[in-house]
Amino acid sequence: MSERAAPRVGVLALQGDFREHSRMIQAAGAEPTEVRTRTDLESVEALIIPGGESTTIGRLADLYDLIEPLRSRIESGLPALGTCAGMIFLASAVTEGTQPLLGVLDMVVERNAFGRQNESFECRLDVQGWDSPLQAVFIRAPLVDEISPDIEVLARHNGRPVLVGKEHILACAFHPELTDDLRLHKMLINLIQEQ
């Protein structure tokens, strides 16, 4: 019997820290694929929307006609992980202004709520179901302001949701790709195998 090929995990590579996520995906035992086109998107079994600048990611996704294909694939069951700006892009609304959003998670997010770049910080988070804390890096991180009751809060910082999940979608306000902890990336890969 032959082994199953490594799952192909796409990283939306329009802007942001997609290379760091690719490194983590490979270390977690999957094949990273940069996603810039509809064709790229069709070839992956899961997707990471990285941190960066959420309005830029949204505008570029709109410019390259990726909003509807991304929304459709995720709504159809494609496992997805959004980190920092990716969390914002997955949300249904932001507290101020307007920007292109996928709206696949029914929550309202405040951009840059944890402060400016020089107010970035690291902390340890207790994640529901994990045996040991996760080291989390917050850089101009978003804050979940409102959240639907059908979204599960997996970790909090100062009482506020910073890691959430709903079925096959995960979103976090921090940057797991800036640590050596592969558990969140493996969690995404496990969602592929559970389908």
Torsion angle in degrees (nearest 10) through CA of 138, 192, 29, 176: 0
Distance CA 165, CA 168 (A): 7
Catalytic residues: 84, 175, 177
pLDDT of residue 117: 62
126: nearest Cα among 98, 104, 157: 157
Establish if 77 belongs to a structural domain: yes
> Residue written as tokens 């496992």?
79
* Residues β-bridged to residue 134: 125
pLDDT of residue 119: 66
Structural domain total, the chain: 1
Which residues form the domain of 74? 8-193
Q: Model's pTM, two decimal places?
A: 0.92
pLDDT of residue 163: 96
Establish if 15 belongs to a structural domain: yes
For residue 119, the SS3 value is helix
Using a 10 angstrom Cβ sphere, with 0-12 exposed, 13-18 middle and 19 or more buried, the burial of residue 195 is exposed
For residue 87, the SS3 value is helix
pLDDT of residue 1: 45
Establish if 171 belongs to a structural domain: yes
Residue 79 CA to chain centroid, in angstroms? 10
With beta carbons less than 8 A apart as the criterion, state whether 14 and 21 touch: no
pLDDT of residue 112: 63
Domain with residue 133: its CATH number is 3.40.50.880
23: nearest Cα among 57, 50, 62, 56: 50
Q: What is the mean pLDDT of each run of 10 residues along the chain (195 residues)?
A: 77 88 94 94 95 84 93 96 93 86 90 65 91 91 89 93 95 92 94 83
> Residue written as tokens 């909003």?
67
Establish if 1 belongs to a structural domain: no
Helices (H), the chain: 18-27, 38-42, 54-63, 67-75, 85-90, 183-193
Establish if 2 belongs to a structural domain: no
